[in-house]
Structure 1
């Protein structure tokens, strides 16, 4: 529905789906899916599979100077900055947001972000509907923990990761603007 709900106003609520389970996610749990992406470590806290595709939630540890290249996608993306300062470029305009701030990127809008502090920044990223989690799994390199160092990649390996992301972007409703 246009207002973001799944049940029309005034309609009876659907029955509880007992097949759906409560999700409790601890970002420091070694069983979580931790991925190195663009030099940062992204932990999938809540997957689209766990939310029936409604949203996904990712914990992002972004190194100083790190962040994705300009891109856009056809889903909403919301960031809550837990630590550090992030510079967002939204439709060509620059906005800085620090710990405690929440920033929502509307679907289809060109944007990027970069950690402008000299320490790692930590963000929560929610995408609705889900799908970005699957893109991260397809392009990221698994690591052991949320605070693990990213793998040391050769220039050829970095170029291969960029090629893979570009090749898969459309499948995940994303356009890389680089």
Structure 2
């Protein structure tokens, strides 16, 4: 009996002993911290660690920070830990506050912005994974979650935007900016 048939018949597949427990500690020096979209994103759990099922990202978003309008073919869920962030989903805006969770369905246009004068922090889970790799390729590595993003020249900022646009399709993402 194949694994597909086993699941279809209601039985749970056998334990995949090649997969290991993932235990993340905030002071782990192996964590990747990336400056992107005005904030610092720490990749807590990678797609590689979950066999591509999901990734988990700790996002620290300063006042005014956030990505441009975009959409992608994967689910994205955010839980606000601190502060408040304004999410725009299909053109409608809503403010999400600490303790609240919001789920963005696959393919829906959206973006978020910290429109307050205080930093915000949220966890973002993407399923399936891939966003963790995309961020690593388009952002700038920094030393830790509370590091300041590098001061970029206008030319460097333009280069990052071009790289993000060029790689977007490889990561099932469409940037909705001119």
Instruction: Name the residue aligned to 2:12.
Output: 13
Determine if the alignment matches structure 1 residue 47 to structure 2 residue 13.
no
Assess if the C-alpha contact under 8 Å between 1:27 and 1:59 holds in 2. Answer: no
Secondary structure class of the residue paired with 1:8: helix
| Whole-Å separation in 2 of the counterparts to 1:173 and 1:27 | 29
Instruction: Name the residue aligned to 1:148.
Output: 147
Greater shift in the superposed pair: 18-27 or 89-98: 18-27
Q: After TM superposition, give the deviation of residue 165 of structure 1 in Å.
A: 0.1
| Whole-Å separation in 2 of the counterparts to 1:66 and 1:75 | 22
Instruction: Name the residue aligned to 2:99.
Output: 100
Instruction: Name the residue aligned to 1:3.
Output: none
Q: After TM superposition, give the deviation of residue 16 of structure 1 in Å.
A: 1.0
CA RMSD for the aligned pairs? 1.1
TM-score for the superposition, normalised by structure 2 = 0.93
Q: After TM superposition, give the deviation of residue 9 of structure 1 in Å.
A: 5.2
Secondary structure class of the residue paired with 2:168: helix
Map 1:79-90 to 2 at 5 A: 79-90=78-89
Instruction: Name the residue aligned to 2:66.
Output: 67
| Whole-Å separation in 1 of the counterparts to 2:43 and 2:32 | 6
Greater shift in the superposed pair: 20-29 or 117-126: 20-29
Determine if the alignment matches structure 1 residue 175 to structure 2 residue 174.
yes
Unaligned runs of 5+ in 2: 1-5
| Whole-Å separation in 1 of the counterparts to 2:149 and 2:46 | 22
Instruction: Name the residue aligned to 1:130.
Output: 129
| Whole-Å separation in 2 of the counterparts to 1:69 and 1:25 | 29
Q: Could you list the structure 1 runs, at least 4 aligned residues long, displaced by more than 4 angstroms after superposition.
A: none
Determine if the alignment matches structure 1 residue 27 to structure 2 residue 30.
no
Instruction: Name the residue aligned to 1:78.
Output: 77
Instruction: Name the residue aligned to 1:4.
Output: none
| Whole-Å separation in 2 of the counterparts to 1:123 and 1:10 | 39
Greater shift in the superposed pair: 20-29 or 144-153: 20-29
| Whole-Å separation in 1 of the counterparts to 2:31 and 2:162 | 26
